[in-house]
């Protein structure tokens, strides 16, 4: 592993174009050992091309890419390179048997998280797109690399797996360059942010939040510069226009300076601006799910579930892959009938459902013609707007306005789907993974639109940032047949999932401040927190009483910390011994199972001790 501060890879004045469009122009960048870099930019601006040039898959048109001798690069591309003739075990684990990969805690963790529900001896040819993606990611993470390059790694991962992946990458010592539209993930892993735009790459220190702040400051400075530039332009133009007779006597450098200022006016970037549509009136009743059973094949997804959505409700729905989130949206939209019970829609409901599929568009149809066939003139909050103007505000300018739908990129097709859906002026929106294929700029505009949209909104998304930005309440499918409200949102969902995994494995659970079903969750459909007594909830960290200096509480806390640290040292020794024993067990499956169970118990004991240590430490702060 290269030492910290070592340069792993350098781009020197690199340029790359496809056709007449330059994607990279004289770009100079470097990646140091251990650095973690997030890459952002609009769809089509060259993010993937930058990764391909860095890894050597694509040669630059000019400039030089230098890599450290013997550099080990792991590259996750958007399209997998798995062989259909292989099994999952061969593709991901190199054919290793169960006792071999299970004996290594690091390998076991990757397999258990990313390949959950995938049979190892299953043929790659029969996997879904999401399963193939997770297999590719698992195979990469199981190898050792000096530099890991990931292109949209969170695609097809649920909220839980995204949180695990962020933690896993931060714990690794490899350098990281990642392209993703998941802003929570960017903030969790990135120490630097690269923005690709107009052939350039701007560098910002910090993750997504720091990037937004720095970008706002740069825009403020650019605005001040633009004001000064405009004032100079007006001054020079006034001078130039003082009549032809005088112009011949003016110094040539003054004319050249004025022309340079006029030529320096920046080209307008495509605007992605979603209009706040005039929303049809919603009545008191919107959607009522009453005592519903919902089956998918032999699996019961909902059992006697009741859920009520009112006017203006903004709801996020989370759950592991396969929990039934898409099926619930199909139930609400009427595309899927319940096995028992009923779903009632209010009389004034105008519902639209954005699905994950892009194949409902006629590939031969033209962008403008399709929009005009829905509405030539659309009513917005600011009045009426033509189809052409609406398309421009959605980023379809120039020849993209008359392009065939089959020629649009994935991001453009997704954007067009949203436009077509919103043109109908719905008052209930069901969005199934709306962030798929959208760049961050489009996402921020969509979030801005939803901020002022007064209808009822139900969102299924693995994008934690988007969920927390657009909805007011989080509900979850927790494999109990109900749709449960989580007052503390995504964080509570992750805590509940962790607790459930401990219970399923027969391990003791750690107290984590997670409300129990009786005290912290709402009853199905109520939308309110049950167990209204303040005494029924677990105290938050902010309510911890600090011990006074010299008090008995302070002395007890210090004793507790000393005791816990001795116990943690003992537990660490025991973990090391068990790891060594697991490696020695070889093919003794009975012994291996016994050791693995013992190791999990010790790990749970360590977690409990660390939590106890933190609680004692809070008393001393």
pLDDT at position 230 is 74
Which letter, b or e, does each residue of 354-382 get, where b requires 16 or more Cβ atoms within 10 Å of its Cβ?
bbeeeeebeeeebbbebbeeebeebebee
More confident residue, 166 or 245: 166
pLDDT for res 380: 60
Instruction: Taking residues 394-407, report their average pLDDT.
Output: 84
Query: What would the mean pLDDT of 63-68 be, rounded to a whole number?
Result: 95
pLDDT tens per residue across span 418-468: 888 888 888 899 999 998 878 888 888 788 778 777 788 999 999 999 998
Q: Do 90 and 196 have their domain in common? A: yes
Highest mean pLDDT, choosing among 66-80, 383-397, 443-457: 66-80
Residues 147 and 187 in one domain: yes
Q: Is residue 388 part of a domain?
A: yes
One domain, residues 25 and 65: yes
Quick one: average pLDDT of 54-61?
A: 95
Structurally, the chain folds into a number of domains equal to 4
Let me know whether 52 and 138 are in one domain: yes
Mean of pLDDT values over 595-613:
79
Whether 430 is covered by a domain: the verdict is yes
Upper half-sphere CA count for residue 326 (Cβ side, 13 Å): 13
b/e sequence 543-580, b meaning 16+ C-beta within 10 Å: eeeebeeeeeeeeebeebbeebeebbeebeebbeebee
In a 13 Å sphere around the CA of 348, the CA atoms on its Cβ side amount to: 13
| Mean pLDDT of the region 529-534 | 36
Question: 504, 523, 540 — which closes off a domain?
Answer: 504
What confidence tens digit (pLDDT) does each residue in 578-597 have?
Answer: 777 776 776 666 676 777 77
CB 294 within 8 A of CB 322: no
User: Does position 277 have pLDDT exceeding 80, yes or no?
Assistant: no
Given a cut of 60, whether residue 247 has pLDDT beyond it is no
Average pLDDT estimate for 161-180: 95
Measured CA to CA in angstroms, residue 123 lies from 81, 84, 127, 308 at distances of 14, 7, 7, 42
| 453 vs 13: which has the higher pLDDT | 13
CA–CA gap between residue 219 and residue 240 (Å, rounded): 30
Q: Of 185, 211, 237, which closes a domain?
A: 211
Contacts of range 446-451, beta carbons closer than 8 Å, 24 or more positions apart? 446/274, 446/418, 448/274, 449/274, 449/275, 449/276
* Same structural domain, 134 and 22: yes
Copy the structure tokens of residue 491.
């964080």
For tokens 């549509």, what's the residue? 277
pLDDT at 11 over 50: yes
Of the candidates 473, 504, 535, which is a domain's last residue?
A: 504
Do 423 and 483 lie in a common domain? Answer: yes
Average pLDDT of the residues in 517-540: 35
In a domain, 178, yes or no: yes
Distances in Å between the Cα of 152 and the Cα atoms of 304, 359, 370, 476 are 38, 21, 30, 25
Half-sphere exposure of 343 (CA within 13 A, CB side): 20
| pLDDT, mean of residues 331-341 | 94
State whether 62 and 96 are in the same domain. yes
CA distances from 537 to 313, 450, 516, 618 (A): 25, 33, 9, 20
Query: In this structure, are 319 and 384 located in the same domain?
Result: yes
Q: How far apart are CA 211 and CA 227, in angstroms?
A: 24
Which tens digits make up the pLDDT trace of 281-313? 566 788 999 999 999 888 899 999 999 998 888
Give the confidence band of 130 by pLDDT, cuts at 50, 70, 90: confident
Instruction: State how far the Cα of 3 lies from the Cα of 68, in Å rounded to an integer.
Output: 12
Predicted pLDDT of residue 385: 76
> And the tokens for 485?
């409200």
Dist. CA 124–CA 89, nearest whole Å: 9
**DSSP 8-class letter at 85:** T
Predicted local distance difference test score (pLDDT) of residue 587: 62
Rounded mean pLDDT, 142-169 = 93
Q: What is the pLDDT of residue 281?
A: 56
Query: Which ranges of 294-378 does DSSP label H, i.e. alpha helix?
Result: 325-333, 367-374
Cβ 29 vs Cβ 47: under 8 Å:
no
Answer whether residue 109 shows pLDDT above 70.
yes
- pLDDT bin (cut points 50, 70, 90) of residue 531 is very low
- Is residue 141 in a domain? yes
The CATH number of whichever domain residue 13 belongs to comes to 3.40.50.300
Residue 222 banded pLDDT, cuts 50, 70, 90: confident
Asked whether residue 530 is assigned to any structural domain, the reply reads: no
Instruction: Give the per-residue pLDDT at 70.
Output: 93
Averaged over 33-53, what is the pLDDT? 92
Residue 544 has pLDDT above 60, yes or no: no
Q: Are residues 572 and 594 in the same domain?
A: yes
Output the DSSP codes for 374-441. Answer: H-SEEEETTEEEEHHHHHHHBT--GGGGG-BGGGS-HHHHHHHHHHHHHTT--SEEEEESTTTT--HH
Residue 576 has pLDDT above 60, yes or no: yes
Mean pLDDT check: name the lowest of 439-448, 462-471, 541-550, 611-620. 541-550
Q: Residue 542: its pLDDT value, please? A: 41
Q: Mapping DSSP to helix (H, G, I), strand (E, B) and coil, where does residue 612 land? A: helix
Between CA 459 and CA 496 the distance in angstroms is 20
Averaged pLDDT for residues 350-362: 83
Which contiguous run of DSSP H or E holds residue 473? strand 473-477
**Both structure tokens of 242:** 């003082």
**Confidence at 26, pLDDT banded by 50, 70, 90:** very high
Cα–Cα distance between 461 and 447 in angstroms, integer? 13
Rounded average pLDDT over 55-80: 94
Say if residue 467 is in the same domain as residue 577. Answer: no
pLDDT at 261 over 70: no
Phi, psi angle pair for 307, to nearest 5°: -150, 130
Please indicate, yes or no, if residue 521 is contained in any of the structural domains. Answer: no
The residues with which 354 forms a beta bridge, in sequence order, are 431
Which one has a higher pLDDT value, 463 or 605?
463
Does residue 482 sit in the same domain as residue 605?
Answer: no
Note whether residue 596 is domain-resident: yes
- Token pair of 358 as six digits: 């892009």
- The pLDDT confidence band at residue 504, using thresholds 50, 70 and 90, is low
Rounded to the nearest 10°, the torsion over CA 384, 386, 392, 397 is -170
d(CA 524, CA 210): 40
Q: Which residue has the tokens 């890419």?
A: 65
Which domain range does residue 257 map to? 224-263
| pLDDT confidence of residue 448 | 77
Quick one: DSSP state of residue 67?
E
d(CA 595, CA 600): 9
pLDDT at position 563: 81
Does residue 611 belong to any structural domain of this protein?
Answer: yes
Indicate whether 586 and 494 sit together in one domain.
no
């Amino acid at each position: 592993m290269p030492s910290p501060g070592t340069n792993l890879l350098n781009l020197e004045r690199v340029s790359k174009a496809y056709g007449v469009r330059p994607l990279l122009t004289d770009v100079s960048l470097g990646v140091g050992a251990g650095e973690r870099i997030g890459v952002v930019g609009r769809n089509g601006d060259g993010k993937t091309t930058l990764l391909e040039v860095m890894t050597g898959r694509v040669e630059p048109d000019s400039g030089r890419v230098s890599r450290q001798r013997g550099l080990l690069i792991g590259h996750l591309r958007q399209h997998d390179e798995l062989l259909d003739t292989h099994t999952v075990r061969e593709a991901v684990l190199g054919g290793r048997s169960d006792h071999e990969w299970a004996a290594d805690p690091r390998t076991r963790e990757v397999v258990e998280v990313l390949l959950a529900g995938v049979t190892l001896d299953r043929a790659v040819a029969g996997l879904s797109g999401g399963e193939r993606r997770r297999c590719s990611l698992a195979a990469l993470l199981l190898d050792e690399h000096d530099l890991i390059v990931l292109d949209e790694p969170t695609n097809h991962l649920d909220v839980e797996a995204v949180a695990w992946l962020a933690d896993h990458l931060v714990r690794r010592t490899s350098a990281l360059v990642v392209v993703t539209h998941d802003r929570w993930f960017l903030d969790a892993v990135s120490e630097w942010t690269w923005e690709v735009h107009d052939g350039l790459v701007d560098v910002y220190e910090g993750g997504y939040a720091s990037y937004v702040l720095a970008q706002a400051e740069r825009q403020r400075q650019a605005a001040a510069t633009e004001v000064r530039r405009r004032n100079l332009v007006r001054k020079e133009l006034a001078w130039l226009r003082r009549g032809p007779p005088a112009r011949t006597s003016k110094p040539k450098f003054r004319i050249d300076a004025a022309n340079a200022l006029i030529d320096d006016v920046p080209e307008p970037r495509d605007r992605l601006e979603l209009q706040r549509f005039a929303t049809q009136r919603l009545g008191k009743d919107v959607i009522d799910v009453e005592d519903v059973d919902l089956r998918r094949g032999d699996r019961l997804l909902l059992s006697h579930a009741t859920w009520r959505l009112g006017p203006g409700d903004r709801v996020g729905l989370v759950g592991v892959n396969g929990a039934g989130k898409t099926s619930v949206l199909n139930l609400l939209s009427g595309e899927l009938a319940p096995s028992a019970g009923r779903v009632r829609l209010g009389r004034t409901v105008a519902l639209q459902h954005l699905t994950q599929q892009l194949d409902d568009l006629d590939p031969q149809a033209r962008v403008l013609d399709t929009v005009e066939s829905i509405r030539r003139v659309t009513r917005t909050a600011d009045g009426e707007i033509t189809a052409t103007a609406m398309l421009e505000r959605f980023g379809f300018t120039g020849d993209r306005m008359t392009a065939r739908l089959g020629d649009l990129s994935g991001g453009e097709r997704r954007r067009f789907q949203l436009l077509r859906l919103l043109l109908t002026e719905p008052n209930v929106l069901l969005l199934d993974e709306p962030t798929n294929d959208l760049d961050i700029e489009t996402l921020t505009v969509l979030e801005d639109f939803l901020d002022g949209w007064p209808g009822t909104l139900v969102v299924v998304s693995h994008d934690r940032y988007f969920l927390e930005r657009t909805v007011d309440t989080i509900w979850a499918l927790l494999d109990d047949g109900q749709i449960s409200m989580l007052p503390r949102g995504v964080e509570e969902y992750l805590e509940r999932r962790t607790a459930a995994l401990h219970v399923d494995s027969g391990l003791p659970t750690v107290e984590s401040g997670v409300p129990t079903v009786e005290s912290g969750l709402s009853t199905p459909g109520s939308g309110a927190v049950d167990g209204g007594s303040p005494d029924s909830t677990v105290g938050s960290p902010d309510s911890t009483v600090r011990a006074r200096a010299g008090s008995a509480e302070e002395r007890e806390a210090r004793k507790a910390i000393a005791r816990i640290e001795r116990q943690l040292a003992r537990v660490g020794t025991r973990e090391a011994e068990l790891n060594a024993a697991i490696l020695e067990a070889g093919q003794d499956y009975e012994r291996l199972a016994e050791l693995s169970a013992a190791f999990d118990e010790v790990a749970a004991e360590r977690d409990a001790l660390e939590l106890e240590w933190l609680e004692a430490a809070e008393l001393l702060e």
